[in-house]
Amino acid sequence: MSAWFADPRTPLDLPLAPSGTPYQQRVWSLLRTIPAGQSQTYGELAERLGSAPRAVGGACAANPLLLLIPCHRVVARQGLGGFSAGVGREGSLALKRWLLDHESSLRS
């Protein structure tokens, strides 16, 4: 994990078995395909899943493994969108912003 903090392009490839609904599992699997330093909107993911943006947001909010399943890479069409890091709304959005900045800081 410390290697990721030094270089967010370091894969965090660990065996994962988070408990969730079949839909949440589909969303979480898709989130793991978004490369570090990039983001996609809730709407883009919903379109790929044949779903709705709010449903994608709900699955992101239920994500139990915030760094390993990078829901912070999902943003609103205009702005950051939400993030559920358990530190209140402002703290969660500050963390989301930091994670996105951290991952994009090493883009070449």
Domain boundaries, given as residue ranges, for the chain:
21-104
Contact (CB, 8 A) for 51 and 22: no
| CA–CA gap between residue 92 and residue 34 (Å, rounded) | 20
For 24-45, what is each residue's pLDDT tens digit?
999 999 999 999 889 999 999 9
Catalytic residue among 59, 66, 71, 74: 71
What is the model's pTM? 0.79
Q: What is the pLDDT of residue 14?
A: 62
Q: Report the 10 Å Cβ neighbour count for 42.
A: 24
Residue 71 appears among annotated catalytic residues: yes
Question: Which of the four CATH numbers 1.10.3720.10, 3.90.1150.10, 1.10.10.10, 3.30.365.10 does domain 21-104 have?
Answer: 1.10.10.10
